[in-house]
Amino acid sequence: MSRLEGKRIALTGPRKAAELSVIVEKLGGIPLVRPAQGTVTTEQEKVAAEVRRLIEHGADWVILTTGVGTEMLVQTAAAIGKEAEFIEALSRTKLAARGYKTVKYLKSLGLEPTVRDDDGTTVGILRALQPYQVTGKRIALQLYGDHAPKLVGWLREQGADYYEILPYAHVPPELAVVDTLLREVLEHEVDAVTFTSTPQVRFLMAYAREKGFADRVVAAFRDRVVAVAVGKVTAEALREEGIGRVVAPEEERMGSMIVALAKYYAGAAESAAE
């Protein structure tokens, strides 16, 4: 039976923590709410300046990594009375889109991306960009609270003239909670940690590096503590941070994530019994 009997599961996502706690408890687990993601903030003036820059100076490529971030750029353009000009600027530019939500939103604007990923990940968008020469090209990169190190590193290696557009950023969570979570991971006081977005992964590992024990955290996830991701993009961020063992559901749903963890434990128990 797929159960979480007695397992202590840390929930890092601030949204739907109560609902996830109920699912964990129903499967016999012990939920521990440990928010590792703070609030979202937008610096409208900075975003508006980037929108104007794109309208006035254009770009060879615009890489769009999230649908909601793309929509926020358009909303910012509308707020400064430049929506039509912004969409026109995008129509004159090669667009690279990550994720079906981004592609769907672009289509609602009458725009078709030049390239798109094949699996919803940053690695997927990198594969799609490989045939194109980007050396010396002006590239605007829209990000979402995740600085996409692989993508940024590749653009730098290729000698692209890129700049980042961050429609919104994440304010750090309460550090006392993160300290507690890291201690629980290092001392194996939790059996698994769930991650529902890349900012949770990035912040936790950046904070661990700042404290000087990132290697120990990675080792804990390798040896005893199971990292659980809500979907492909979050799983990709965990792997980029050196965490190789990641449990993730086929269907990107929070409930499915907990069920996938229960199945993982059931499979591990069967293997141990053989």
Task: Of 234, 251, 250, 12, give the one whose Cα is nearest residue 144.
Answer: 234
Instruction: Encode the chain (274 residues) as per-residue pLDDT tens digits.
Output: 458 999 999 999 877 788 899 999 999 999 999 988 776 677 788 899 999 999 999 999 999 998 988 999 999 999 999 999 999 999 999 999 998 889 999 999 999 999 999 888 888 999 999 999 999 999 999 987 677 888 999 999 999 999 988 777 667 788 999 999 999 999 999 999 999 988 899 999 999 999 999 999 999 999 999 999 999 989 999 999 999 999 999 988 888 999 999 999 988 766 655 5
Choose the CATH number for 41-169 among 3.60.110.10, 3.40.50.10090, 3.40.720.10, 3.40.630.30: 3.40.50.10090
pLDDT value for 2:
56
Q: What is the dihedral of CA 175, 179, 181, 187, to 10 degrees?
A: 180
Q: How is the chain split into domains, by residue range?
A: 8-39+173-273, 41-169
Residues 6+ apart with CB under 8 A from 223: none
Q: Percent helix, strand, coil in the chain (nearest 5)?
A: 50, 15, 35
pLDDT value for 1:
45
* CATH dotted code for 8-39+173-273: 3.40.50.10090
**Tokens read off for 196:** 């529902």
